[in-house]
Amino acid sequence: MDAQQTLTGTGLSDALFAERAPARVSPPAPRTVIIVGAGFSGTAVAIHLLRLPHAAPLRVVLVERASFARGVAYARREKSYLLNVPAARMSASSTDPLEFLRYAQRTLPHATAEDFLPRELYGQYLESSLLAAAVASPPHVRLERVHREVIAIEKARRTRALEVYLEDGRRIISHNVVLATGNPQPAPLRGCEEVRDGRYVADPWRAPVAFRAGETVLVAGTGLTMADIVLAGQDAARGRATIHAVSRHGLIPARQGHLQQVHDPCHGPHLLQGASVSLRRLVRDVRALAEESERCGGDWREAITAVRSLVPALWQRLAAHERRRFLRHVRSYWDVHRHRLPERTWSALDDLRRSGRLLVHAGRILAVQSTGRQLRVTWRARGAGASGTLLVDRVVNCTGPEYDLRHTRERLLRSLVVQGLAVSDSLALGIATDEFGRLVDTSGRAAANLYYIGPMLRPRYWETTAVQELRAHAERLACHLALPAGSWASA
Ligand SMILES: Cc1cc2nc3c(=O)[nH]c(=O)nc-3n(C[C@H](O)[C@H](O)[C@H](O)COP(=O)(O)OP(=O)(O)OC[C@H]3O[C@@H](n4cnc5c(N)ncnc54)[C@H](O)[C@@H]3O)c2cc1C
């Protein structure tokens, strides 16, 4: 792909690059918004910005180092993975909930609202929505795409602008920058840094996973990624690999179900609002709500849906020590009930467990050592005093993103941390932001024009992984960025 692309037909203009800025008097320069990262979050912000009315000229520059409008989740892959959420809940627009379903029905006429459709199709939908928004935007609103990695962002010395540095040495000046860089890589497993020959997969979304028939594999983590990797790996091994999956609690995600809403949708939220001051009371009331739904002929997922709509408010009201207790005692249970698997995926996993091809353990991995052709994994089962060992042919790290900014290996984030422009929260859950998504710096002040959107919004909202939450943030951020010039930096 070209280094510079534009959907409006004109390449990235030279004026955008500081070192070649023209000296002539020209019409007022368009306000520039640079979005770093074109996964779901960055693409959704761009789409909504392009769709909004703008009185003044606007240039939206989308910078992406991999494929546009895909991100990790919706990339083209050898294996066709399914979405974990039904089609009717995957629209990128909250005002048009069936937008994705209608798009999908063009190629899959029989697709229904409850179907779990291919992730790759979802990527096509995002690409197509971005293109349509760019084509429909008026001439003074332009989208430009730059296929490069951003390695640093700095404050300009004499103006309030930001300088965005690309890996090829170029610098772009921007009035506003939105970081939409997605999930960081998982933290490395102890001892695996030395294993460099494909027996250790540090991040399964960055390397194709292929297990061989007859081999024994250790998967660290038992969440949604584990499910994807185990099924893809067993496909490659024609069902003849033996897989051990280990996590602290050994819990695997629950299955999706066709939600039977038996209560008025306001019933649950109303009930739970009163419980939000205490974690213990909250957990008790969610359980009671789930049991009540089951008794009335519905199911427990109704309670999860009720809490989900309140999560940001509940999270913000919990005191720091209650949040800490949540992370220690409740989080694993919340995660497996909230982030569920499509029935088909869950059943395939269950079949593997029954046949002994997948063994799920609760415990902690203590060390991984290379011993000739194999890897020796030392681990301790939950509640056990002594540790045990497993000899495996391969280890796959499915522990999920390393959210602690202090340990990030991303060049751009590291540069922001070093400058004091980005900080983690006290629980190391992600990036500290204010209510508009502006980064909070080391002195506790919100940046004038540097924003973040994506899964690392967890310190403020807790649940910010799925499309349903991220699209709301994208819409809000686009509206904020579309405020008339003058109110941008200080709004
Ligand atoms: C495998 C998987 C499946 C999922 N399935 C579902 C689902 O079915 N339903 C649902 O609701 N949610 C799902 N999610 C969750 C959710 O959709 C994603 O977390 C969401 O897509 C996050 O989008 P993002 O844009 O913030 O991050 P990402 O998708 O990670 O995108 C970030 C982008 O930024 C780019 N980038 C990063 N740094 C730089 C840089 N310095 N310079 C230039 N580019 C950069 C990356 O290349 C990437 O394309 C899934 C998540 C995963 C990982």
* Residue 276 · residue 313 · CB < 8 Å: yes
Can you tell me the distance from the alpha carbon of 175 to that of 480, in angstroms, rounded to the nearest whole number? 14
Average pLDDT, the chain: 89
Can you tell me the distance from the alpha carbon of 453 to that of 35, in angstroms, rounded to the nearest whole number? 10
What are 373-404's pLDDT values in tens digits?
Answer: 899 999 999 999 899 999 999 999 999 999 99
Can you tell me the distance from the alpha carbon of 232 to that of 398, in angstroms, rounded to the nearest whole number? 13
What are 191-231's pLDDT values in tens digits?
Answer: 887 777 789 999 999 887 889 999 999 999 999 999 999 99
Can you tell me the distance from the alpha carbon of 452 to that of 462, in angstroms, rounded to the nearest whole number? 15
Does the structure show a pLDDT above 60 at 408? Answer: yes
Does the structure show a pLDDT above 50 at 234? Answer: yes
Q: Domains of the chain: which residue ranges?
A: 31-184+403-490, 200-254+341-397, 267-331
DSSP code at position 87: G
- Averaged pLDDT, 16-32: 54
What are 247-269's pLDDT values in tens digits?
Answer: 999 999 999 887 666 666 666 66
* Mutation choice for ligand 1 from 47, 64, 130, 225, CB with most ligand atoms inside 8 A: 64
CA atoms within 13 A on the CB side of 487: 8
Does the structure show a pLDDT above 60 at 235? Answer: yes
Does the structure show a pLDDT above 50 at 157? Answer: yes
Can you tell me the distance from the alpha carbon of 86 to that of 119, in angstroms, rounded to the nearest whole number? 11
Fold of 200-254+341-397: FAD/NAD(P)-binding domain (3.50.50)
- The two tokens of residue 234 are 């067993």
DSSP code at position 430: S
Return the minimum-mean-pLDDT range out of 74-83, 113-122, 125-134, 221-230.
74-83
Q: What percent of the chain has pLDDT over 90?
A: 72
DSSP state string for 118-150 = BHHHHHHHHHHHHHHHHHHS-TTEEEEEEES-E
Would you state the pLDDT for residue 443? 96
What are 271-308's pLDDT values in tens digits?
Answer: 666 666 788 888 888 888 888 888 888 888 888 888 88
Kindly report the number of other CB atoms within 10 A of residue 284's CB atom: 12
Residue 134 Cα to ligand 1 midpoint, Å, equals 21
Does the structure show a pLDDT above 60 at 23? Answer: no
Would you state the pLDDT for residue 232? 94
Q: Quote the distance between the C-alpha of residue 180 and its chain's center.
A: 10
pTM: 0.91
Atom of ligand 1 nearest to the CA of 467: 11
Atom of ligand 1 nearest to the CA of 182: 27
Would you state the pLDDT for residue 16? 39
Would you state the pLDDT for residue 265? 66
Architecture of the 31-184+403-490 domain: 3-Layer(bba) Sandwich (3.50)
Can you tell me the distance from the alpha carbon of 481 to that of 33, in angstroms, rounded to the nearest whole number? 8
Would you state the pLDDT for residue 490? 42
Would you state the pLDDT for residue 10? 34
DSSP code at position 209: -
- String of b and e for 295-313 (b: at least 16 CB within 10 Å)? eeebbbbbbbebbbbbbbe
31-184+403-490 and 200-254+341-397 in the same fold:
yes
Atom of ligand 1 nearest to the CA of 116: 8
DSSP state string for 164-201 = EEETTS-EEEESEEEE---PPPBPPPTTGGG--SSSEE
**Ligand 1 neighbours by CB, cut-off 6 Å:** 36-42, 63-66, 71-73, 83-85, 149-150, 180-183, 412, 454-455, 465-467, 470
Q: Which helix (H) or strand (E) holds 303?
A: helix 301-317
Residue nearest to atom 52 of ligand 1 (CA): 73
